[in-house]
């Protein structure tokens, strides 16, 4: 991919964000809402950059990031592992199918009170909520991707003396990688949303807590800062994930 094409894609990707910020600034300029209720983007971003030098704010951001990455990492490990095993083992598949049909449609936020009661108010309950929300898209994408792998690849490996487990976690896993990464990307977006939501509901730290605290004190500028923070974190993670995906999928047909 040439630099010109990359620059063009970046410009197209930034255009909706610029338009959104322009609309926000336009609403403030036309005074559709008083500044005390809707501060301008310049004010909010100025406050955001000033807080980047505040150790307490950075600690809240680090707490949110820790919960996000812990829950997401667990979801990837379990989702990919079970998805691959379900393809190679009929017993695992027979157990997983009804569980997925029952649990996947359930709004996982309904489980949060149970997580709080069993795991406490600290990191564990929030990591658990991120995990259960992110694991299903990863698991389903892995399973469907692994099912679509050409069986002859596994048969050839088995004929060459490769064990069933090794064939699953080398040949099938690598062949299903594009689908797995798509599921992981969806799971990562969900993880960003859920960790923020869990901190808004019940927490004494994290970016979600900062938003609720600012809202209670009617500090509207500080209320928008956590929203901007999680949005920027999401953009950074998405860019990093896309770069990793492009590197891992070099030579795959979909990239040709």
**Domain boundaries defined on the chain:** 1-32, 39-255
Q: Write down the residue that tokens 């898209």 correspond to.
A: 137
Q: Is the separation of the CB atoms in 237 and 72 below 8 Å?
A: no
Q: How far apart are CA 182 and CA 72, in angstroms?
A: 14
- Residue 136's pLDDT is 94
| Each residue's pLDDT tens digit, 129-140 | 999 999 999 999
| Assigned CATH topology for domain 39-255 | MetI-like fold (1.10.3720)
DSSP string of 31-78?
Answer: TSS-TTTS--HHHHHHHHHHHTT-HHHHHHHHHHHHHHHHHHHHHHHH
Flag whether pLDDT at 31 surpasses 60: yes
Flag whether pLDDT at 256 surpasses 50: no
Q: How far apart are CA 64 and CA 126, in angstroms?
A: 10
| Each residue's pLDDT tens digit, 193-243 | 999 999 999 888 999 999 999 999 989 999 999 999 999 998 899 889 988
- Residue 6's pLDDT is 65
State the pTM of this model. Answer: 0.87
Q: How far apart are CA 31 and CA 35, in angstroms?
A: 8
Q: How far apart are CA 94 and CA 50, in angstroms?
A: 54
Q: How far apart are CA 256 and CA 252, in angstroms?
A: 7
């Amino acid at each position: 991919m040439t630099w010109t094409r990359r620059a063009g894609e970046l410009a197209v990707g930034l255009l909706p964000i610029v338009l959104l910020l322009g609309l926000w600034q336009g609403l403030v300029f036309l005074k559709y809402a008083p500044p005390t209720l809707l501060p301008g983007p310049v004010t909010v971003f100025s406050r955001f950059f000033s807080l980047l030098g505040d150790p307490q704010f950075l600690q809240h951001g680090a707490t949110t990031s820790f919960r996000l990455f812990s829950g997401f990492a667990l979801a990837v490990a379990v989702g990919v592992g079970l998805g691959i095993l379900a393809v190679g083992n009929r017993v695992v598949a027979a157990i997983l199918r009804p569980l997925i049909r029952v649990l996947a449609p359930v709004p996982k936020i309904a489980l949060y009170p149970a997580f709080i009661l069993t795991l406490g108010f600290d990191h564990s309950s929030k990591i658990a909520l991120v995990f259960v929300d992110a694991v299903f898209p990863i698991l389903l994408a892995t399973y469907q991707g692994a099912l679509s792998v050409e069986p002859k690849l596994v048969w050839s490996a088995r004929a060459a003396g490769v064990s069933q487990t090794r064939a699953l976690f080398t040949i099938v896993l690598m062949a299903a990688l594009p689908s797995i990464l798509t599921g992981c990307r969806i799971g990562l977006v969900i993880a960003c949303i859920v960790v923020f939501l869990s901190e808004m509901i019940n927490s004494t730290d994290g970016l979600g807590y900062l938003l609720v605290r600012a809202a209670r004190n009617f500090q509207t500028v500080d209320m928008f800062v956590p929203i901007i923070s999680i949005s920027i974190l999401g953009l950074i993670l998405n860019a990093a994930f896309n770069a990793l995906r492009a590197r891992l999928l070099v030579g795959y047909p979909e990239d040709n």
